[in-house]
Chains A and B, each alone.
Chain A
């Protein structure tokens, strides 16, 4: 038990939280943009999976991790185009289009993997690249902070830097304001001359950029291969993080870190001999509990609002 307490307070534990939270933060930022623009993107999971796949394939064939990352981002944006086509041109149901995208991405990546390598499960035969880790000068020499903050995957830093960037983009730029206007009241936004479809398309594409990068982190850093359905619901967890964060970038960051910590804690406890299956279930149960608590608080605030 003392060992456990020691390992929970170790710098490595906090470093692991940052690592595990990275894909959730990235995708949640994308989901945030789409949600604020009025198009909640259930398809983020599928975008992420396509990103993870294209990152591995393109980096393996070009030998360049950068090309892989770009391909992953483009793959996410293609998912965004698909969503926009389904929702705006075909006027299909938003949620069902997202489910269809997830289904298509899951099947499509397996099909493509099979046609490239002859295997369906894992891209072991592809010699893919990983994105580099970054050691921050000065910081890495600090005693405890060095272990926590330095030596992470480059996309971990991108994820954390993207939080203020998204906050500024949504709250302080004209495009962000317009997106929020469209999300808040599309009719009114239309009446002021905004193009709802164009702004929502941009939101879908931006969501694709983040989800694709989140996928690239999984397959080009967290691990160095692609395996079928490797995102394992992280896109949905990002969705939950965004809801808990109440659509704010910093709140979403906090929620992502919380969900990431539960995951890391579960891994640490599994090492102590607790049943790993129950611990694996924990992040999902905690997410539902957190959503419920957040919902209660919202409801309370709403009633206070109506009384006054």
Chain B
């Protein structure tokens, strides 16, 4: 089992690099200095402390959204509401910070909690609807993502808008509410530590607690869990609400960590990135941490070549899409020759 997990991880890493080069090399060849483009993308992110800081900043929200996705997927709920939860969580946290004149020590946790509760609706409602009516959580969570954005924009436009700002944005947050940078010359904030700790707690919860076991059992199929007498329905709702809360909490952290006012006009893409990270991590909470850093690294690399050579940043999305297909491919992961190659002779002994 350990060897098999090792092989899966090794193949995943291999394919991530393979896909990266398959997309990057042809794109680089379109430019006069292909070598420069490649090295800027691949090595550039490590050149400066600031760039490495960017990787961590970008990985922070996706670690949390990926954790939310992993919990829901492992429970068997195909819920894609994290994108909307993240947006509403950020908005509610921003609104609380602007409306509540409390000292930061009380105000910040309260604002994040409020964000988590309101944002959890986007994942929670599809879960409840599924449990009570049987309607697919997949379709309703996709729909609610759009609804969340428009409702959020309504609140922003009618209640939070700073009339003096040139663009549609909220008033400025009071300075004492914003997270301080932990490492000089980066914007890494306390949220990164929270995210890593959350992933570790998530791993312990899933693998070392009885409820985590119930989540995993109910995720493998309802028959077995029903025979065990588990209340899968209640568990499913609870996990989707928790997932929504984690994603929304991530939105709040992102808001206070990196922004001085609420400026989102649309969903941020952090939820989708979370889905990709969750898949690369193969639904394992601990592996979310390296997977999120890898995606952050791609985003920083894409950003660097975009600024230096004008290469559109969308190539990163293209890489992510292909990685997603490869990593979920059963044909690749159960290919006997490939597994044998990775595991060597020990793999045969294990079988």
Contact = CB atoms under 8 A, between A and B. Distances in A.
Given A92-B330, A291-B140, A278 B150 contact: yes
Interface stretch (B179-187, B206-214, B315-323): B315-323
Contacts of B80: 99
B91 to A, nearest CB: 12
Nearest to A97: B325
A277 B136 contact: no
Contacts of A239: 139, 142
Contacts of A243: 135-136, 139
A275 to B, nearest CB: 5
B153 interface: yes
B154 A103 contact: no
Contacts of B157: 275, 277
Interface in B314-351: 314-318, 320-322, 324-326, 328-332
A103 B150 CA distance: 21
B279 interface: yes
B194 to A, nearest CB: 27
Given A107-B315, A110-B312, A89 B135 contact: no
B70 interface: no
Contacts, number: 144
B153 A291 contact: no
Contacts of A162: none
A237 B147 CA distance: 12
Contact of A284 (B143, B154, B315, B318): B143
Contacts of A237: 143
A144 interface: no
B144 A284 contact: yes
B129 interface: yes
Interface residues of B, number: 45
B134 A277 contact: no
A151 interface: no
Contact of B320 (A95, A103, A120, A294): A103
Contacts of A100: 321-322, 324-325
* Central interface residue in B140, B143, B146, B317, by most chain A CB within 10 Å: B143
Nearest to A241: B139
User: How many A residues touch the partner, as a band?
Assistant: 35 or more
Contacts of A295: 129, 133-135
Contacts of B230: none
Contacts of A293: 133
Nearest to A109: B314
A92 B147 CA distance: 30
Contacts of A92: 325-326, 328-331
A104 B142 CA distance: 18
A267 interface: no
Nearest to A107: B317
Contacts of A296: 132-134
B326 A90 contact: yes
Contacts of B294: none
B272 interface: yes
A86 B325 CA distance: 7
A131 B150 CA distance: 31
B125 interface: yes
A90 B53 CA distance: 36
Nearest to B275: A99
Interface string A279-308: 011001101100111111011000000000
Nearest to A85: B325
Interface in A94-108: 95-97, 99-101, 103-104, 106-108
Lowest 4 A-B CB distances belong to which pairs?
A295-B133, A107-B317, A281-B150, A295-B135
Given A114-B312, A236-B143, A288-B140, 17 more contacts: A42-B138, A92-B329, A93-B328, A96-B279, A96-B325, A101-B321, A243-B136, A243-B139, A278-B150, A281-B149, A281-B150, A281-B154, A285-B143, A287-B139, A287-B140, A291-B129, A294-B135
11 contacts: A42-B138, A103-B321, A107-B314, A120-B312, A233-B142, A243-B135, A277-B157, A288-B126, A291-B133, A292-B132, A296-B133
Interface of A: 42, 86, 89-93, 95-97, 99-101, 103-104, 106-108, 110-111, 114, 120, 232-233, 236-237, 239-240, 243, 275, 277-278, 280-281, 284-285, 287-288, 291-296, 298-299
